[in-house]
Amino acid sequence: MKNQFLWITCLSLLFVSFGQPLKEQNYQQGLDYAKAGKYEEAIAAFTKAIEVQPLDAYAWYNRAMAKNMIGEYETAVDDFTTCIGLSRSYEKVWYNRGITKMYIGQYDGALFDLNQALQIQRNYPEAHYHRAYIYELKGLFDFACTDYQNAASKGYKVPEEKLLACRDTNYTGLLKNLLLKLSKTSKRKTYGTKAKRPIAIGCFENVERYLRLLRSPEGKFVPFEIKTRQALTEVKITYTLKGEMLDKTLYFDINKACDAWIIKGFKTFKELPVGSPP
C-alpha cells in the first residue's frame, strides 16, 4: 500500500532527524503495530507513550501519522499541532499537517503549512507538488504551474498532463470543475447509491476528494474502495451504525459537471470555526 510505505519512510526520517530514539516500550510497540498495518493498536500504544512522556515529539507525530492511515484527520491535525509546538524546525511535521488539512478541505491552512515546510527545507519536491495541487484547486494557475515545474525539476514524478497543461496559456487540462467542500445533503435515499442517480462529480480527482470529506451517520471517516474507474465510477464504502458494520456502493458520474451533495443520512467533517489558527 503506497500510503503505508510513505508513512513508514517519514517515520524513519523523523527518527534519524531527532537522533535519539525513544527506548520506551509502548512507543516501540506503536512502531511495530504501525509497520504491521495495525493502526488502531499503534494509536493506543502511542497514546500510552504520550501519557508517560507528554513532551516527546516522536509519539505525537507518529500517533498523528497512524490516525491519518485510518482517516482520523481532524484529531491527526491536533497531534501534528502539538508536535510542532514541541519541535518547530522539522519540515516533515509541517508537510504532513498540510497534507492532512488538504484532505478535509482546509486549503488555506494547508498552504500555510506547506510554505513553512519549504522555508525550512527548500529542496522539498513533495511540498512543491502538493502546494501546486492546492493552488490549482484555488484557481491560481500561474502559481500552480511554477510549483509543478519546481517539483519536476527536483525529481518528483509530476503527471505529464499537468506539465502539458502548464505549457498552454489557457491552462486547458487543469482543474476548473472543483469540489472544494460538501455543504448540502440530498433528501433522496437513492441519490448516489443507484447507478441511475449518480453523484455528479466532474472528474476522477474529485471522487477521492468527496470520499475524504464524507463522514458516516456517526460522524466517523468512511473507509472506501474504488472498484472501477470509468465514466460511471463505482466505489464501495463501509461504516458502522449502532455497532453494526454496513456497506454501500456509491456511483459517481465523471462526465457531469460537479454538483456533489452528501448522500442521505451521512455527514461531512466539522470545519474549523472562523478565526481558528492555521
Tell me, what CATH number does 7's domain have? 1.25.40.10
List all residues 6 or more positions away from 211 whose beta carbon is below 8 Å from its beta carbon: 222, 224, 235, 237
* Judgement on whether residues 18 and 111 belong to the same structural domain of the protein: yes
pLDDT digits (tens, 9 = 90+) for 229-267: 999 999 999 999 988 999 999 999 999 999 999 999 999
Of 121, 156, 175, the domain-final residue: 121
Q: Domain for residue 169, yes or no?
A: no
What pLDDT, on the 0 to 100 scale, is given for residue 272? 55
Cell of 205: 480527482
pLDDT digits (tens, 9 = 90+) for 13-67: 343 334 344 447 888 899 999 999 999 999 999 999 999 889 999 899 999 999 9
Given a contact cutoff of 8 angstroms between Cβ atoms, the answer to whether 86 and 57 are in contact is yes
Which three-class secondary structure state does DSSP give residue 256? coil
DSSP string for residues in 181-238: ----B-S-TTTTTSTTS-EE-SSHHHHHHHHHHEE-TTS-B--EEE---SSEEEEEEE
Q: Domain for residue 192, yes or no?
A: no
pLDDT digits (tens, 9 = 90+) for 75-88: 999 999 999 999 89
pLDDT digits (tens, 9 = 90+) for 22-33: 447 888 899 999
Of 121, 142, 164, the domain-final residue: 121
The total domain count for the chain is 2
Q: Domain for residue 151, yes or no?
A: no
Q: Is the dihedral of CA 78, 80, 86, 89 positive or negative?
A: negative
Q: Domain for residue 222, yes or no?
A: yes
Q: Domain for residue 127, yes or no?
A: no
Q: Is the pLDDT of residue 168 over 90?
A: no
* Judgement on whether residues 22 and 114 belong to the same structural domain of the protein: yes
Q: Domain for residue 19, yes or no?
A: yes
* Judgement on whether residues 114 and 25 belong to the same structural domain of the protein: yes
Question: What integer is the mean pLDDT of 180-202?
Answer: 94
Question: What integer is the mean pLDDT of 158-180?
Answer: 87
Of 90, 121, 152, the domain-final residue: 121
Output the average pLDDT for the chain: 88
Query: Which residue range forms the structural domain that includes residue 229?
Result: 199-264
Query: What is the C-alpha to C-alpha distance for residues 18 and 39, in angstroms, rounded to an integer?
Result: 23
